[in-house]
Chains A and B, each alone.
Chain A
Amino acid sequence: MELLPESTSRSEQTYPLVFTGSAGEYFRIWIINVFLTVITLGIYNAWAKVRTRRYFYAHTTLDGYAFDYLANPIAILKGNLIIATGLILFIISQQYVPKLNSVIVLGFYAVIPYLIYTSLRFRAYNSAYRHIRMHFHGSAGESYQIYFWWSLLLPLTLGLVLPYLAYRKKKYVFDHMAYGTTHNRFDGAPRQFYTMYLAVSCFSIVGVVIALALSGMVFGMLGKGKLDHPAAMMTLVAAGYLGFVFMASLIQQYLYTQSTNYGWNHSTLGHVRFTSSLKTWPLMRIRITNLLAILCSLGLLIPWARIRRTRYLLEHIQLMVSGDLDHFTAEQGADDHALGDVSADFFDIEVGL
């Protein structure tokens, strides 16, 4: 191994993440995945998942080298089978033994923290760059602290601990990630999260006031008689529903961009720092146009939509490196099972970075 000249390690260099995936190429992979999954009655789903992730990772490059996804499809297949069995039992019991429902829901809440923990481990362990794997060193205990105990406090404190919870979730992910033997450090504080949620509360109050004023105006203009007509009422309800979905989605995107930016911007991986500059409006625009495109194309534009969103997300992350990226070393670690990862996907649990 050569030693680097002192001068280069002082100056900081910027490396952007580059995403080179194309909608046309991914469309073919996606449709074949769906086709094979259907004709194998779901068994191929595990391979499809690995192929999709491999595709996205391989098209994400940093300093000219691509990322790699290394999961074993058999591990994912086992996870899928467990989920499918559980689901069938749940549907049957829901129909015939409604008494059991609350027990099942409680049991589900009790295992979620563990699933999140194994999901993070599995995903990290199977992600590699320059043939060095990533690792997640968080503990199951901390996951239970955050996703079980602090979450229980939510209703008791009328949601006041929500910003703190959001902070702990980000900290859990960012503070325990490692690339090879190099651990990531997260030096964020809860304060920023309180500001974020305060902004959201103000925005919601303003939104509700505007909605009330608007509906008051509409009622006033139409007069009482016209609203008896079911069509007029339906239109109003639909407009109100769309407005609500739009607001909720906007808040969701805002929280996502702000907390993701914060997570990256307060991370240090050895001599590497990150900048993330996601913005709410562009992401919102992508989400709305994606949704319309998917609906109008009866799902055929799903690949295009995914590529578009991924490109936006990845190309707004940069690495600031003092020196170079040549000196990370690999750590030996054991393989993990995929149940957590599979169920996190299935139940749409947000665990990503």
Chain B
Amino acid sequence: MIAFQGTYFDGKSSKAHPVSVVCSGGLISLRNDANGLRVDLRLDDLSVAPPLGRTRRVLELPGGARCETSDLDAVQQLEALRGDEHQKGLHRVHRLESHWHLVIACTAGLLLGLWGLVAYGIPWMAKRAAFATPKPLIDTLSNQSLAFLDKQLFDPSHLDPGRIDRLQDQLQNLIQDSGSSVNARLVFRSSPKMGANALALPSGLLIMTDELVYLAQNDRELLGILAHELAHVEQQHGLRNTYQSAGLFLLISMLLGDVTSLTSTAASLPSILIETGYSRQFETAADTFAGRYMLRQGWGTKPLRDILQRLFGERGKLLPAFLSTHPGTEERLRHLEAMEQGTGDR
């Protein structure tokens, strides 16, 4: 027999009825002798709300009434008596929450899980999503981007058509040589606003600014850059980066779902750091691709190193390495040089 004190609410009025609850032989009865209230029912008809911390337990009775009690042990005995637990999953969650050693184990698991998600989970899912994105969609998006850039940043190219044709031919050689299946197309634009730069859009559209062509001392330097951009397309870095940012944003907003806005400003810092980490990985991968191509051509990686040095000498060292999306120039140069000497990762 289990006996405990509780409060009965009929669900129709806010009146609280103190009751004595007695359970024996599969039957349960709630009784208030002062006002003659008496409810009898079978134990099986009862639905017990899952526990939460040390808060009072709720027994839901058929017909919309309920009985609340702070006698936690008694309710536990009641549940043991019934054998089955209603909402088993939440009982397990409660068990996790009740023991400090489990809590500490879960905290360790959480840190491990977060690290796993950021380092492998999100990049893996983004890669899958990027390669599953339909080609027509990618083309439309890329054309939209180009139209936007043309309006905001670019002017038509002033390059000599002969120079353009030569570079186009060399790009075709580059694509064939690297065995790439990408349908790459190279366009030139003049952009005083952007300066010397090259970019790749996910559809295979490579854009090079006139300023970059002027900066180069020979075509090998430009081909190094083109190989770098081709790697971005080939490995879908652009789309993957977008998906990774989205995933990271979802993760962080999920974690901080119930934090006030003042503190979420502080939370944007780790997200910036992680995102720059992601894009630096892509840059390194693209440099490796370009380096390999140049080594196969027997040029060595020097032309790419030269133009990078000139490029970043021009822009200056604006940001410390951990904040910049490209790895620090020094680091990139060292990586390319190591490749040439055969000690870098090939």
Contact = CB atoms under 8 A, between A and B. Distances in A.
Given A35-B110, A42-B250, A45-B254, A96 B13 contact: no
Interface stretch (A151-159, A167-175, A208-216, A327-335): A327-335
Contacts of A47: 90, 93
B141 A97 contact: yes
B16 interface: yes
Given A31-B106, A87-B250, A345 B55 contact: no
- By Cβ-Cβ distance, the 7 closest A-B pairs, closest first, are A96-B141, A131-B9, A58-B55, A328-B14, A326-B15, A130-B14, A35-B110
A144 interface: no
Contacts of A34: 110, 255
Interface in B232-287: 242, 245-246, 249-251, 253-255, 257-259, 261-263, 266
A113 interface: no
B192 interface: no
B10 to A, nearest CB: 8
Given A84-B250, A287-B262, A39 B113 contact: yes
Contact of A45 (B12, B16, B96, B257): B257
Interface in B80-120: 90, 93, 96-98, 100, 103, 106-107, 109-110, 113-114, 117
Nearest to B142: A96
A348 B264 CA distance: 11
Interface in B1-26: 7, 9-16
Contacts of A180: 14
A130 B93 CA distance: 26
Contacts of A38: 110, 113-114, 117, 251, 254-255
A291 B106 contact: no
A79 B35 CA distance: 45
A28 B117 contact: no
Chain B interface residue bracket vs A: 35 or more
A196 interface: no
Interface in A124-181: 129-132, 180
A29 B9 contact: no
B54 interface: yes
User: Is chain A's interface secondary structure helix, strand, loop, or mixed overall?
Assistant: helix
Interface string A18-35: 000000011111011011
Nearest to A348: B261
Nearest to B255: A34
Contacts of B262: 249, 287, 291
B6 to A, nearest CB: 12
A2 B36 CA distance: 12
Interface string A67-101: 01000000000000000100110011001111100
Contacts of A249: 262
Contacts of A131: 9-11, 14, 65-66
A332 B35 CA distance: 27
Contacts, number: 148
Given A36-B93, A38-B117, A291-B262, A326 B13 contact: yes
B253 A97 contact: no
B322 to A, nearest CB: 18
Interface string B35-46: 100000000000
Contact of B109 (A1, A39, A84, A291): A39
A217 B315 CA distance: 37
A46 B145 CA distance: 37
6 contacts: A31-B110, A36-B93, A87-B246, A99-B148, A329-B13, A346-B257
B124 to A, nearest CB: 12
Given A130-B15, A132-B11, 15 more contacts: A25-B54, A28-B97, A28-B98, A31-B107, A35-B107, A38-B254, A58-B56, A87-B249, A92-B242, A92-B246, A97-B144, A131-B9, A131-B14, A180-B14, A330-B13
A19 to B, nearest CB: 12
Contacts of A353: none
A346 B261 CA distance: 11
B153 interface: no
B52 interface: yes
Contacts of A49: 257-258
A200 interface: no
A291 B262 CA distance: 8
A306 interface: yes
B161 interface: no
Contact of B56 (A31, A66, A291, A294): A66
B53 interface: yes
User: Which of the listed residues A28, A92, A131, A346 has the most CB atoms from chain B within 10 Å of its own CB?
Assistant: A131
Given A59-B55, A302-B259, A330-B13, A32 B246 contact: no
A29 B14 contact: no
A47 B141 CA distance: 37
Contacts of A2: 35
B14 A326 contact: yes
A304 interface: no
Contacts of B251: 38, 42
A108 to B, nearest CB: 16
Contacts of B109: 35, 39
Given A65-B16, A130-B14, A95 B7 contact: no
A131 B49 CA distance: 14
